[in-house]
Structure 1
Amino acid sequence: MKSTLILAIAFVASSFTLSTEKPVDVNNSKITWKGHKVTGTHDGHITLQKGALKFDDKNQLTGGSFIMDMPTLTVTDLEGEMKGNLEAHLKSDDFFSTEKHTTATFVITNVSGKDGKYKVTGDLTIKGITNPNTFDMVVSGNTAKADLKVDRTKYDIKFRSASFFDNLKDKAIYDNFDLNVNLKF
């Protein structure tokens, strides 16, 4: 009877997968963005406030979550007054409303793949609006890299979007912007 009980406990324990959460080193991680318009592009970065990736006992990615500090949004392709003006505009209600919405979040909801090459799906929340986003992520050693395309109009960011306004011509800003994520953990 005693050996049967021990065997049953061992079986139940072995059916659970152990999970390890690895905090992201926010000081050495980097999130860059690039916005596209008819006449060119602008780019910059956003500071990661907090994040973690989850791995199973075989070191396969299973989940994670991240918080971006939206008031840290900066422009890196301009200098001086033009840089300050664009940063202020991006932080305004025309774009990310960073006074009202100080963070943006991403929570992984599904992971497929193995051996460092994954298809990740998660919920991206910007301005309090949540939408799913799917992208490829590569994990190697203590680094995870991903490139996301984000449709800003799904987050009520419609300023100069040709999808919502006519006759913008060369003033149009494309709906999709890029987020390039390089995480260290």
Structure 2
Amino acid sequence: MKTNFLNILFVAFLGLAVVGCKDKAKEAETTDAETVAETTAEATKYSVDAAASTITWKGYKPTGSHDGTIAVESGVVTVKDGAIESGTFLIDMNSITVTDIPAEEEMNGKLVGHLKNADFFDVEKYPSAGFEVTGFENGNLSGNLKLKEKTNNITIPVTVTESGDSVTITSETFTIDRSKWDVKYGSKSFFDNLGDKFINDDIELKITVKANKS
């Protein structure tokens, strides 16, 4: 009976592990910064609609997770023959919110403050992050992502939808390894002996950008 019970537990654990692996977002391919894409006269220029654009984030630790949003402050993107040709986007790091804790709860403000301070994104010193397009091929958008003082090139799958005088760029859910941008707090990439107090390096992101013809 004991052996059967242990077998059932093992099968249940294996099933959970398979589901967890299946649901885990893929890390964006990350390389050194690359040359920024140029704009041609034939491309259509769009200006970002900040109110209709957003970035959602999710961070994990052994005891659970937190999620929230970050605003796209501004940007310009050019499209030619249904493909992204070039683009520059500014991200407002002061706009970080936490959505899994009610806004009126004290812990919400504490977590937002912690994310904004020097432990994480140091928004007083680095109020903006940036993304510059370096290429677009087979539905994969590449660009230089600058966070704090670090710039790395990432490649993410996106869908480009043109409708009338607007274009919407929607990414699949993906992750970036924050340690590659020197976001160090609670990271096992920088600190030993954290035990179960560490915070995962992977940050899960999903980006939606809407832009209108300039």
Partners in 2 of 1:133 and 1:59 — Cα distance? 21
Identity %: 40
Query: Which residue identity is paired with 2:79?
Result: F
Does residue 170 (structure 1) correspond to residue 181 (structure 2)? The answer is no
Contact 2:74–2:91 (CA under 8 A) maintained in structure 1: yes
2:176 alignment partner AA: V
Q: TM-score, normalised by structure 2?
A: 0.73
What is the aligned partner in structure 1 of residue 61 from structure 2? 37
Q: Which residue identity does 1:37 align to in structure 2? A: K
Candidates 49, 62, 82, aligned match of 1:59: 82
Is 1:97–2:122 an aligned residue pair? yes
Is residue 2:107 matched to residue 1:82? yes
Shift, 1:170, TM fit: 2.0
User: 1:103-157, CA deviations, whole angstroms, 9 ceiling, x for partnerless residues?
Assistant: 00000101112xxxx1111100001211111111111233211134211111111
Matched, 1:123 2:172: no
Contact 2:82 2:160 in 1 (8 A): no
The structure with more strand, counted as a fraction of residues? 1
Does the Cα contact within 8 Å between 2:83 and 2:136 map onto a contact in 1? no
Structure 2 residue 179 is the aligned partner of structure 1 residue 153? yes
* Structure 2 SS opposite 1:90: helix
The partner residue of 2:169 within 144, 152, 173 is: 144
Over aligned residue pairs, what C-alpha RMSD do you find?
A: 1.4
Report the secondary structure of 1:87's partner residue: helix
* Deviation >4 Å, runs of 4+: none
What is the one-letter code of the residue matched to 2:57?
A: W
- The runs of 5 or more residues in structure 2 that have no matched partner are 1-39
Letter in 2 for 1:162: K
